[in-house]
Structures are given as structure tokens and as C-alpha cells.
Chain A
Amino acid sequence: MPDLRMSGARTRTPQPGDEVQKEHSGRVGRVILIMAVSLGAVMMFFPFLWTVITSFSSGLGLSAKPSLIPQQPSLDAYRILFLDLPFARIIANSLAIALVVTFAQVLTSALAAYVFTRMPFKGRGVIFALYLATMMIPGQVLLVPQFVIMKDLGLIDNYLGVLLPSIATAFGVFLLKQGMDAVPRDLDEAAKLDGASHFQTFLRIVLPNTGPSIATLSIFAFMGSWNNFLWPLVILRSEEKQTLPLALAGLQGQYTTNWDVMMAGSVISILPMLAIYIFAQKYVVRGIASTGIK
């Protein structure tokens, strides 16, 4: 029985005979590949490097020609961020909200995705299209009506008010559906023969084999919540509930732009997300997979 555990590493059991294959396309191809990938990586990284360098610079005129060496190096930008803001509180707010949103999105999306991949019924396609349709209205249009709904529910300036619009997403449903479609149905059949209910099949068979897609969704859900600006802006009032994007925007003056502070804020924003990315790639996949029965 082939090992269908969807881990992050692609393992290939060596077979006699394909050693030759490896030799040919091996050397030159590999070198070119590494060079191309590295060049691309440099292009990806360079702008980030500038961001970091600028965050360690100070003084005036930072929007002028960028340099690789910090001009007037200083920790002022970070000092302003860490000392002038209730930093720990802000990060805690953003983190808590993002984690809850991520968990909720994965849960609600997985459940719905299972229906679209494994539970046929008349009109399922229409309902799926209706799910997709929720992505076709720009958030700017939904902002005001959603706000009024929150006010009617009494959730202004409330963490729950920040969360609610984000707990379900058609993006997640779609992503996980595609991921679950790739899980072979023989496993389902086997489980059904053993008398498993839909929920058990979902939990023990399909879900554990959707690890990579769930990891992907986790990353995007976290990112979406972490960077969310407009909605927390209109719904939160109290200072102690502020999230990171709000706090960073608050540091910008009406007429002046402190590029060093802005870049420092960007750097600080990025680091947790990178951490989640790495974490998700490694552990979420493994963790999800381990909950299943092969």
C-alpha cells in the first residue's frame, strides 16, 4: 500500500537504473537551478533588506536614495515603538485575535469543504457558487453595513466584534476543498465499510491527509488577521484594545512621514508572520497528519 502521508518532504526511494538519469540532468541542471533560484531570492530579499536598513537609520531625508548602510545608525525608531507604545499589550491583542481567527477559519472551512468534496446533493454546485460569491463584493462596500450590524449586536469596541466577520471565509472553503479533492476516495470507502459516519471519516481520514492545505490556510488566515487595518479601525475605540496596524498608523503624523519608524513597524509586523509561516510548514502539517489513521 503506497505511503500517502502528505509530509513536507518529498522522499524518493532510489531504484536501480535511475542513477544514470540523475547523472545527466544532474550537474548542469542543478547549478542553473540554484543560480536562478538565488537570483530570484535576491530580488525578493533586497527590498526587505532596505526596509530593515532604513529602520536602523535616523535623521532627515530618509526617503531619498536608499543605501545599504544605515545613515546615522540609531535605534531611535525601535525605541519609539517599544517605549512610546504599550507594545506588549498591542502584540498580545493582535496575536490573540489572529490565533482565534486562524483556528476558527480552519475549522469552519474544513467542515464546509468536506461537504463540497464528499457529500453530494442536488444544488450543491449552486451553494458552492454562493460561497464563492461572497468573495466578489469588495470589503469597502461591506464595511458600513457590517458596522451597523455590529452596533446592533452591541459589539462595538469589543474583541468579538473584530473577530466575527473573519471566522468564515469562502477562500478557506475553496482552498480546503481543492486539497480534500486530492485525497483518494479509496480511504473513504475503506472507512465506510468499517461503519464510519461522515463526521468520523472527516475527522480521521480526510482531514489528516489535507495537512499542506490546512497549513497554507493557517498562514493566510493569520496574515489576514494580523494585517487587518480598516475593520479594527472602525470598530475598536479603547486604547488598550489596539492592534498592531492601528498602533503603527497612529505614529504617522498628518504632514510628515517618519520613514524609519514606519519601516521599523513593518519589520516588527513581519517577524511574527515569518515565524508562523515556518511553524506552519513544519509542525502543522506533521501535527494534522498525525491525528489520522492511515
Chain B
Amino acid sequence: MKRLGRRAFLSATLAAPAAAVAQTPGHPLLATPWPDVVAAARGQTVFWNAWGGDDRTNGFIAWANDRVSERYGVRIQHVRLRDTAEAVARVVAEKSAGREQGGSVDLVWINGPNFLAMKEAGLLFGPFVHRLPNARFIDTEGKPATVTDFTVPVEGLAAPWRMAQIVFVYNSATVRDPPRSIPAMLAWARANPGRLTHPTARNFLGATFLKQALYELAPDPSVLLAPATDTAFAAATAPLWAWYDALRPHLWRSGRQFPDNGPAQRALMNDGEIDIMISFNPSEASTAIANGQLPPSVRTFVLERGTIGNASFVAIPFNAAHKEGAMVVANFLLSAEAQAHAQDPRVLGSVSVLAIHRLPPEERARFELLPRGIATLADSELGRPLPEPHPSWMTRIVAEWERRVAR
């Protein structure tokens, strides 16, 4: 049980009290006036490490590159990761090799366990978010996930750039009445064997599928907001595993194979292999219809007892070679222009992190002009998102899933 022992040790370190807020205290850049930051950034190439499995996000990053190159003379080089953990590992490796500056990661798309790991290890530059001019429009009250990531205070060490909330997409041509609760999901899978799956739990979205089920099945969901302990984990997840053991034989490929990630799952839906899929993007269905990635008959539903929501962030590693450029990119991502482009259902369809009503009228207009996709739920139907459990739950769920499934 060495592996579990190591996991337990890891969780214990994760649960340790948060480190001091400033990770790079006294860094001169944190006091540099913004125009000087912009001037210093000119000519830099920002290596933005971001999961590269989704074409639409890749396209958005390419668009951002065009804009910031034109406007600030900053180039974005998208380092396409298979998994965000690769970037964290790279920074840790550089730190252990003594590379305190000139690091190879300038900006990283991050949240959840990866963010916590970097924060705990003191690998982040900042706090820098309050130095970004566009940060004042972030909707910290209406969207608390922009300042608390998976129960972990962000403390200005990462800038939010898109909101995410779990929805389920179904094919209305084959599914008349989609299941709106976790137990109903099991009944539906029994009646429709092979028509439901989820990405492998090693993938962020796949782990979230299990967390979503845990929220509904745990005897007391409030324990999820504290770091997981052995006893709390065993008690809270027992009903989850009972449910999952019953569900798994009725999943696609009898629950022995899983798509690698969300886009792979979407391809299965597009090919008609499955009828229901989980997504982190409320306008996934509309956007995918617009891009020819899903049939026009797909629609969206959520669970009656609510779904998990979170925010995506960008963070700057402590040893990033191009911090000024990274700050300029983070600031651009918070601009009304970038946020409205991302929220366009023909582009990403991801909900903005800004408080739209606080924007100047001409900026607000960018959002008011956006079409609402045919397959997107109204805000009232979507419901207020449930907060993400503490990252330690995710880490443990993934390890336990692997233990049960990989044989």
C-alpha cells in the first residue's frame, strides 16, 4: 500500500495551512506602473502552457495572439499540453534544478489541484491580479469562484478568464426525457446500455463527473468543502462507489474503456455512439452545433439539485522568463473585447468572469449583441453553481477510481 501511503502523505501536505500570500514578495514588477509593464513586455514571446486537446480553445488562443501581437507587440506561443500537470511538473523540476529565473513556462491555464499544488509549493508569481487594469471589472461577488478556487483562496495569484459550470448534453432525437438526478442517471443507463460514458477520471472533466455524483450521493455534502481525511473520504464516498459499481457495466464499452477527454467524448456523441455527455461549458451544445461538431438535435440539461461550477485561471510561475508579457496577456484576457469574444457561442461560448453591468456602456454593448445559442439554457434554468469540493477530494477520487477500474 505504498502508493496509498504516498497519496495520504500528499493529501496531508495539501491540507497544511496556506502559505504566506505573497509568493514572490518584493518583486519589483509588483510595484511597476502599468505603462512601464506594457513597455517592457513589447517584443516578448509568452509561452502559454494550456491544455491543447480542444480545437476551439486552441483557436481562441490563436486569436488572442493576433490581438496582443498587433496591440502590444507581445507574441503568444501556445504550448499545447496533454495535461496541465505537465506544466506544473516542469516548473517543479526547474525549481529543483535551481533555475530561479528564465523558466520555460510564462503563463499556465490552471485551477483545482494543479493551482493548489503550485500555491503550496510557492511556485507562483504574485499576487499580481490587482496590478492588472482590467481586474477591477471581475465579478467577485456574483461569481465567487473567481476569488476562491476549489475552496482555496486565490489571493491574486491567478487571474480568472472564463467561467465553467457542469451541464449535460443529450441528443433530443434519441432521448425524450433526460435523467435529471444521479439515481435517475443509473436507471437511464440500465434502460439504455452503452449510451452513456464519461471521460477517463484521469481527465479533469471525468473526475468532475464523479464529483458531481458525489455531491448528490454523499450523506453530508458539506464535508466536501474541507480537506479530505481517510475517515471522511470513506464515509462520504461509500454511496458513490456503490452507485458507480452499479452504473459501470451499463456504460459505453461496458465501462472498460473511456474517452481521453471532453472533445473525444464529443466525437462519440457526434458519431452517435453515445446519447448523453457531460460538459463544463453551458453553451457546449450550441457552440458545437455551430461548428458542425454535434448534430443540430442536441440540447442541454442540468441536474435538479444543481451542478458544480468553477473558474479557469491563468497563473505566472515564479521563475517565468517573460512575466511582463504574461501580465499583459492576463490583462488582455480580462478585457471586454476578449471576454465577449470568448462568450460568443460561435467561438467558445464560455460565460464571462466580468460584472457586465459595471462595464462602460460601449463595452457592455459587445455582450448584448451576442446571440444566445438555440441549445443553451437560460441563466435561470442553469441555476447557481455548486462550489467545487476541496482539491484533495479530486486527487483521492481519481486514485480510488484507478484502483477500481485499472485491473
A binds B: no
A contacts, CB < 8 Å to B: none
B contacts, CB < 8 Å to A: none
